[in-house]
């Protein structure tokens, strides 16, 4: 996952029903730079990094930053706030945006006319189901064990599906314990069995006996319920509606997107098969409906299947060129495939067709990846000023916090995280980001306490690795064992994710290189590089090669990771260590010094090791 587009924490908020009925006569002209197109599209044709051998030109920024889409937002009352394209990754993960980069599944269930962007949030987590469901009739809207209004699964004859944080965390911890007691290979089997248990063993849905389609969901199923933050209540409302109206294709699509969002917010990848079934059901009722196709693009991206995410986004846009989700998922997929010039152009097109929080934040991230931090910061600030909902405020403020942290401005990062938490005191990326900034500022105790709270509820790889490294850095009695337990939980989460169709090779490479099986790290990094050439996969492969003693092979990848202008202290640290190991003493010193100048607290362990390596060259 690249730091923003596909992080499990990623938050992509959408404020309307994707512009159905808003089609224009010639959408292909938008974003082309032809007369009449918005200024935000200028400069979107920068050369992309080469995708061949790592020694090829990486295609860095050309100095032509597209004009700020936020300028358009300022002149449009409904322009919305920028939404980040990839939920930024931390602790060595590229995800995020993660992609890092989450949302409340608030699509219009009846696919009606679009409303103007009004600050409501929706579920556009870049993700989709790569495999095509059988399209068979699916009369059970829960896709398994019925779910309460609070999102908990009832125990059925198969034991039910743990979904609450305590149950889910306990389940993941049991998987980790099993891995410690048995051979590591058994961990995958345990996770697969756990995944079956968590889905209630009942994702195969029943036969449909309805003779004909019925009208889409009524106003009783208000999409604002999903967009307003109460996702569990929204899912329960959709499930109840679909029990009485099982041929409502729009509500099936909305339910699928809601499951994707639930997987993100609860750290529960077992929801992805349910999302796949719901979206497949929607398409079986209304083939090629853009809402479900955009949902499948989102699900594919959540599973890190970016090739299919792009394909589904393109299919959705052929049906509705103004689908906000599809436009956003297309940017995400191109970013995660390393096709940065195309991503910039796609961001410009999306800005012309559907300006708002999701597009603006993606636009900002594309600029950051190309080294244009100034534009990225300006767009995000304008997005924050335009945010109208607590969800959007929390999301954009957290992205500004991450951007500030990446540039070493820990005080500003803490300020932005505080603003995010003032809007939503339970917003996971802000809680995690605040802990990282606290650690970098020297408040290790507060950072550890904060991360312990986070991982107790959401045992995800990023915060688990960060907490483990903080334990190691503290070094008190029992801390090494505590750290080891966090790393074992990373293995458990990865096994569970894989059991539910998620490609976890990048997570494996990043975590295992420093805290696990180095051979497995290299194998995973090579596999991920074979699928996509991004700055994050280049860095992961470089570091995996280094820890396996193959520095000469690693160096071209380390240089490629820093070749677009993206300012990442971890990447510079890795490059510096590899340069020193290959005899490039001056270059190595310069890279290490740059890493520490950019962000002196970039990692609990990495920053100290960078200083030690730099001192050793004197």
CA distance 118 to 81: 10
Give the percent of the chain with pLDDT over 70. Answer: 63
Is there a contact between 569 and 601 (Cβ–Cβ < 8 Å)?
Answer: no
- Is there a shared CATH topology between the 27-161+199-441 domain and the 504-618 domain? yes
- The length of the chain in residues reads 618
pLDDT of residue 266: 77
- The answer, yes or no, to whether residue 129 has pLDDT greater than 60, is no
> Quick one: CA dihedral 446, 598, 376, 332, positive or negative?
negative
- The answer, yes or no, to whether residue 478 has pLDDT greater than 70, is yes
pLDDT of residue 2: 55
Fold of 27-161+199-441: 1.25.40
pLDDT of residue 386: 87
> Quick one: CA dihedral 571, 577, 583, 585, positive or negative?
positive
| Mean pLDDT value across residues 105-132 | 33
Q: Compute CA distances 598 → 371, 407, 609, whole Å.
A: 13, 6, 15
- The answer, yes or no, to whether residue 58 has pLDDT greater than 90, is no
By CB atoms closer than 10 A (0-12, 13-18, 19+), residue 407 is middle
Dihedral class, residue 506 (left if φ above 0, else alpha if ψ from -120 to 50, else beta):
alpha
- The answer, yes or no, to whether residue 255 has pLDDT greater than 80, is yes
Tens of pLDDT, residue by residue over 163-180, are 445 555 555 555 555 544
Taking alpha carbons only, the member of 317, 334, 339, 335 closest to residue 326 is 317
Structure pTM? 0.70
| Mean pLDDT value across residues 447-474 | 95
| Residue, of 426 and 129, whose pLDDT is higher | 426
pLDDT of residue 226: 54
| Mean pLDDT value across residues 589-604 | 98
Give the percent of the chain with pLDDT over 90. Answer: 58
pLDDT of residue 528: 97
Provide the β-strand partners of residue 153.
Answer: 147
CA distance 296 to 344: 22
Is there a contact between 259 and 239 (Cβ–Cβ < 8 Å)?
Answer: no
Residue spans of the domains in the chain: they are 27-161+199-441, 164-198+442-502, 504-618
Tens of pLDDT, residue by residue over 353-387, are 999 988 999 999 999 999 999 999 999 999 999 89
Is there a contact between 227 and 122 (Cβ–Cβ < 8 Å)?
Answer: yes
Please state the CATH superfamily assignment of the domain spanning residues 504-618 in this structure.
Tetratricopeptide repeat domain (1.25.40.10)
């Amino acid at each position: 996952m690249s730091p923003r587009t596909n992080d499990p924490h990623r938050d992509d908020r959408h404020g309307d029903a994707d512009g159905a009925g808003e089609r224009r006569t010639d959408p292909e002209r938008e974003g082309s730079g032809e007369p009449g197109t918005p200024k935000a599209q200028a400069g979107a044709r920068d050369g992309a990094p080469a995708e061949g051998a790592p020694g090829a030109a990486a295609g860095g920024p050309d100095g032509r930053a597209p004009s700020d889409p936020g300028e358009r937002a300022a002149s449009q009352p409904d322009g919305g706030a920028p939404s980040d394209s990839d939920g930024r990754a931390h602790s060595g993960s590229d995800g995020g945006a993660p992609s890092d980069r989450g949302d409340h599944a608030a699509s219009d269930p009846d696919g009606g006319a679009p409303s103007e962007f009004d600050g409501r949030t929706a579920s556009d987590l870049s993700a989709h189901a790569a495999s095509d469901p059988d399209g068979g009739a699916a009369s059970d809207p829960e896709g398994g064990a019925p779910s309460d209004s609070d999102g908990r699964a009832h125990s059925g004859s198969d034991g039910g599906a743990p979904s609450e944080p305590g149950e889910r965390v306990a389940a993941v911890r049991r998987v980790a314990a099993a891995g410690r007691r048995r051979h590591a290979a058994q961990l995958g089997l345990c996770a697969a069995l756990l995944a079956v248990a968590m889905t209630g063993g009942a994702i195969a849905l029943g036969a449909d006996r309805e003779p004909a389609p019925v009208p889409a969901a009524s106003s009783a199923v208000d999409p604002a319920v999903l967009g307003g933050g109460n996702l569990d209540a929204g899912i329960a409302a959709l499930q109840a509606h679909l029990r009485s109206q099982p041929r409502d294709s729009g509500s099936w699509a909305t339910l699928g997107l809601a499951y994707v969002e639930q997987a993100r917010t609860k750290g529960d990848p077992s929801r992805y098969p349910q999302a796949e079934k719901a979206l497949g059901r929607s398409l079986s009722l209304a083939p090629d409906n853009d809402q479900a196709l955009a949902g499948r693009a989102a699900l594919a991206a959540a599973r890190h299947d970016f090739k299919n995410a792009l394909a589904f986004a393109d299919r959705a846009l052929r049906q509705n060129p103004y689908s906000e989700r599809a436009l956003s998922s297309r940017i995400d997929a191109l970013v995660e495939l390393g096709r940065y010039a195309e991503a910039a152009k796609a961001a410009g097109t999306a800005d012309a067709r559907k300006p708002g929080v999701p597009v603006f934040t993606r636009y900002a991230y594309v600029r950051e990846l190309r080294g244009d931090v100034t534009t990225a910061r300006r767009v995000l600030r304008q997005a924050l000023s335009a945010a109208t909902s607590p969800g959007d405020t929390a999301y954009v403020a957290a992205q500004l916090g991450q951007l500030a942290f990446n540039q070493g401005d820990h005080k500003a990062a803490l300020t932005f995280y505080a603003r995010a938490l003032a809007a939503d005191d339970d917003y996971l990326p802000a809680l995690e980001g605040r802990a990282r900034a606290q650690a970098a500022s020297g408040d290790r105790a507060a950072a550890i306490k904060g991360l312990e709270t986070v991982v107790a509820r959401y045992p995800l790889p990023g915060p688990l690795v960060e907490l483990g490294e903080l334990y190691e850095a503290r070094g008190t009695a029992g801390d090494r064992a505590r750290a080891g337990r966090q790393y074992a939980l990373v293995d458990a989460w990865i096994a569970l994710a894989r059991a539910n169709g998620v490609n976890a090779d990048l997570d494996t490479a990043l975590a295992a290189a420093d805290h696990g099986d180095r051979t497995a790290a290299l194998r995973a990094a090579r596999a991920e590089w074979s699928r996509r050439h991004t700055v994050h996969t280049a860095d992961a492969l470089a570091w995996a090669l280094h820890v396996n003693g193959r520095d000469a092979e690693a160096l071209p990848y380390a240089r490629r990771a820093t070749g677009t202008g993206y300012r990442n202290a971890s990447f510079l640290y890795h490059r510096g260590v590899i340069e020193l190991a290959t005899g490039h003493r001056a270059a190595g010193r310069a890279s290490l010094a740059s890493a520490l100048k950019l962000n002196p607290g970039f990692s609990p362990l990495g920053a100290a090791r960078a200083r030690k390596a730099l001192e050793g060259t004197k």
